[in-house]
């Protein structure tokens, strides 16, 4: 303090108004040390970052939607007095989604952090299987189960994210084939392994994967390259660009994803409802509440069964039964929901879906 006082008396700037002379200094930038041949690969750095951010956003969206359906249903069936809960410092009743992660390298760790931040999951509701569980102390210390047992993960989880390397996929598939519970959604982030191959390897039809297209031109954009995934997704414009229905993603984003992620979330929710004891009428009501944030189905722009069902499936619903949807079929072929998402006459409802997607990341700013 005495040195600071003497410097102040002499008119020398102290830390309060000091200026970092290295800030924005080009000679200290990452690109400065690269040769001209190496710089041509810089767009791949942007693509990798955009891929990671978008993957985490989609993982958070899927888990948020399925978790919210369970939570809304739990609160409907077990009405609570908000004043009493606040007075007693209690939490609303939970019917949590059980989530499994297979592979926890760079992408897996980012997905786990995103789910804890945005998807209303608690550490005890997550199980991670990795070859080196001892290296995940940051997760184990907060209550996440970390082990090396792929069979245990798929047998006890409602949703499993596969984040291993492509070369590890045959081993993982051999481990879990025949052990995946029938209603478990297996969602793959493994690049280079197509959905039909995954289905054949895992012997499971309730399966989906991330599909991306990328643009070299858009990869020249900075796209929050210096931000971590959580910081990036808290920015509304980034969250909007990661939404598959965003009208500007193809012009602004280095990578953009297929709307099949939205279809997967919707049809996975439909498959989950019978196991929760939900009636046909309650199912449609839940879809409108959760995916469109609409509690009043008497007004326009709500989901109807025509958005999801073909003629054969509609016959089941007329008899009071919900059909089981093959998510492999959803991911590889057009569905009634595909037609809805492509329709220009449904633009207002599309915007409601986008708004819901963005809201997942806005509420935690």
One domain, residues 195 and 266? no
Can you give the CATH number for the domain in which 86 is found? 3.40.50.720
Percent of the chain scoring above 90 in pLDDT: 57
Which pLDDT score is estimated for 254?
82
| Angle (CA) 192 65 175, round 5° | 40
For residue 23, is it within any domain?
no
pLDDT of residue 298: 47
Residues 164 and 106 both lie in one domain: yes
Assess whether 175 and 312 both reside in one domain.
Answer: no
Task: Establish if 350 belongs to a structural domain.
Answer: yes
Tokens in use for 164?
Answer: 């291993």
Answer yes or no: do 227 and 270 share one domain. Answer: no
One domain for residues 150 and 203: yes
218 and 331 within one domain: no
Structure confidence at residue 289 (pLDDT): 93
Residues in the chain, pLDDT under 70: 1-31, 80-92, 222, 294-300, 364-365
Give the global pTM: 0.86
- Examine residue 341 and state whether it is found in any structural domain, yes or no: yes
Q: What is the pLDDT of residue 346?
A: 87
Report CA torsion sign: 254, 244, 94, 148. negative
- Per-residue 3-state assignment (H helix, E strand, C coil) for the chain: CHHHHHHHHCCCCCHHHCCCCCCCCHHHCHHHHCCHHHHCCHHHHHHHHHHHHHHHHHHHHHHHHHHHHHHHHHHHHCCCCHHHHHHHCCCCCCCCCCEEEECCCHHHHHHHHHHHHHCCCCHHHEEEECCCHHHCHHHHCCCCEEECCHHHHHHHCCEEEECCCHHHHHHHHHHHCCCCCCCCEEEECCCCCCHHHHHHHHCCCCEEECCEEECCCHHHCCCCCCCCHHHHHCCHHHHHHHCCCCCCHHHHCCEEECCHHHHHHHHHHHHHHHHHCCCHHHHHHHHHHHHCCCCCCCCCCCCCHHHCCCHHHHHHHHCCCCCCCCHHHHHHCCCHHHHHHHCHHHHHHHHHHHHHHHHHHHCCC
Do 212 and 282 fall into the same domain? Answer: no
**Are residues 185 and 170 part of one domain?**
yes
Q: Read off the pLDDT of residues 219-259 as tens digits, 9 standing for 90 and up.
A: 777 677 778 999 999 999 899 989 989 877 777 788 888 89
- Please tell me whether residues 228 and 269 are part of one structural domain: no
* pLDDT value for 80: 65
Instruction: Tell me which residue range forms the domain holding 324.
Output: 262-362
Count CA atoms closer than 13 A to 250's CA, side-chain side.
6
Report how many domains make up the chain. 2
Residues 194, 181 within the same domain: yes
How much is the pLDDT for 208?
95
Q: Are residue 96 and residue 175 in the same domain, yes or no?
A: yes
Q: Is residue 27 part of a domain?
A: no
């Amino acid at each position: 303090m005495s040195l600071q006082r003497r410097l102040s008396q002499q008119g020398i700037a102290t830390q309060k108004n000091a200026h970092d002379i290295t800030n924005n200094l080009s000679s200290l930038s990452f690109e400065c040390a690269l040769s001209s041949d190496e710089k041509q690969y810089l767009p791949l750095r942007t693509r990798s970052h955009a891929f990671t951010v978008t993957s985490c956003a989609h993982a958070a969206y899927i888990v948020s939607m399925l978790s919210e359906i369970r939570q809304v249903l739990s609160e409907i069936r077990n009405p609570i007095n908000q004043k009493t809960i606040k007075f007693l410092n209690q939490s609303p009743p939970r019917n949590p989604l059980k989530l499994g992660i297979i592979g926890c390298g760079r992408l897996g760790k980012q997905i786990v952090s995103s789910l804890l931040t945005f998807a209303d999951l608690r550490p005890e509701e997550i199980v991670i299987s990795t070859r080196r569980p001892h290296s995940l102390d940051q997760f184990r210390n907060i209550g996440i189960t970390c082990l090396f047992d792929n069979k245990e993960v798929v047998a006890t989880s409602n949703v499993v994210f596969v984040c291993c390397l492509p070369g590890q996929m045959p081993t993982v598939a051999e481990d879990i084939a025949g052990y995946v519970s029938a209603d478990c959604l297996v969602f793959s982030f493994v690049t280079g392994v197509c959905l039909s191959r995954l289905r054949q390897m895992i012997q499971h039809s309730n399966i989906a994967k991330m599909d991306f297209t990328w643009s070299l031109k858009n990869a020249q954009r900075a796209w929050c390259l210096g931000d971590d995934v959580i910081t990036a997704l808290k920015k509304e414009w980034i969250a909007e660009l990661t939404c598959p229905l965003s009208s500007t993603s193809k012009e602004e984003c280095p990578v953009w994803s297929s709307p099949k992620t939205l279809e997967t979330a919707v049809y996975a929710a439909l498959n989950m409802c019978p196991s929760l004891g939900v009636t046909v009428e309650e199912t449609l009501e839940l879809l409108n509440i959760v995916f469109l944030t609409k509690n009043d189905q008497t007004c326009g722009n709500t989901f109807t069964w025509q958005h999801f069902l073909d003629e054969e499936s509609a016959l089941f619903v007329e008899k009071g039964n919900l059909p089981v949807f093959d998510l492999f079929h959803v991911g590889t072929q057009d569905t009634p929901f595909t037609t809805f998402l492509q329709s220009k006459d449904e633009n207002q409802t599309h915007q409601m879906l986008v708004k819901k997607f963005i809201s997942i990341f806005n509420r935690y700013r």
